[in-house]
Amino acid sequence: MIVLMGIGETPKIFVIFLAAFMSCVVAAFQGVTGVDRTLIDAARVLGASDRTVFLKVVIPASTPFILVGMRIGLGAAWATVVAAEMIGAQKGLGFEMVHAQTYYDIPTIFVGLISIGVIGLVMDRLLLVAERRLTAWQERR
């Protein structure tokens, strides 16, 4: 990406975007194509337009898939952010860990590892709470 976009933040942001985007797109596609045809037909029989079917049937039915894709994308993006910081950044947890590695500062490395894990867990749990609220209608196993 540096060759295509130059040096700076733009290639890093683009790589992070790519890491999250594909999992979100695949999950959304699976959700939309997996909508029960009976629901769409029932909406059509009741006189719903294409827009109404999309907004009131397809999006709510595919929301669980979209949110799972977002959780997967969030994990991929977070890992990519840390990796990008380790390779070519002047600040961030990844940079601090690489800097601590140079001086064999093991406590700083462990604090960085734990911080990365805790921040990732908190972001995942926040998205899980949003998922439970947005899909409260869905049966739980």
Sign of CA dihedral 9, 83, 5, 16: negative
Share of the chain above pLDDT 90, in %: 62
Structure tokens at 137: 């209608």
Instruction: Give me the pLDDT at residue 121, please.
Output: 96
Instruction: Give me the pLDDT at residue 75, please.
Output: 93
3-44, pLDDT tens digit by residue? 777 777 788 888 889 989 999 999 999 999 999 999 999 999
pTM: 0.80
- Residue position matching structure tokens 């001086």: 103
Secondary structure letter of residue 53 according to DSSP: H
Contacts of 63 (CB under 8 A, 6+ apart): 31, 134, 135
Q: Looking at per-residue confidence, does 103 or 10 come out higher?
A: 103
The identity of residue 39, as a single letter, is L
Instruction: Give me the pLDDT at residue 138, please.
Output: 78
Structure tokens at 59: 């999006």
d(CA 21, CA 13): 12
44-63, pLDDT tens digit by residue? 999 999 999 999 999 999 99
